[in-house]
Amino acid sequence: MKVTKIPDPLQALKEGKYLPYAMIRCNSLMHLGHTPQKDIDAGQLLEARFFDKTKEIRVFRVGDQLHAVTLEEEPDDILIQEEYGLVGTQLGQCITLCRHIDFDEDGQAYRSTTRLIGWKGEKSHG
């Protein structure tokens, strides 16, 4: 998996609008579904994850600072995909995750990261 730091988190929020799905958590909002095209209040943002099948733009808060990275699938990645049903929510029907597997110096496998890669359902909240 290719991880790239994005120096300007506000630019990352703009780039995220080009990906089809988003999970956005703010102080007063939770959204999961199609990427909203309206601007996000960066001052209220806790976490935003914009995604498609092979790429995720992740904007997150550490203390008072926003940070951003891009996670991109590469051809040789070892992946496990899992789909989870969303029951009793207004956030859609299901979410699909991709877990990236890596190996340590002793050859032991471990999950290096998890990306969001899919969403189904027309319900969204926020």
| pLDDT of the chain, 126 residues: tens digit per residue | 999 999 999 999 999 999 999 999 999 889 999 999 898 999 999 999 999 999 999 999 999 999 999 999 999 999 999 999 998 778 889 999 999 999 999 999 999 999 999 999 864 444
Of 72, 88, 105, the last residue of a domain is 72
Instruction: Please tell me whether residues 64 and 25 are part of one structural domain.
Output: yes
Instruction: Please tell me whether residues 66 and 82 are part of one structural domain.
Output: no
Taking CA atoms, 22 is separated from 11, 40, 54, 74, 120, in Å, by 16, 12, 14, 21, 12
Instruction: Please tell me whether residues 52 and 97 are part of one structural domain.
Output: no
Domain assignment of residue 125, yes or no: no
Parent domain of 44: 2-72
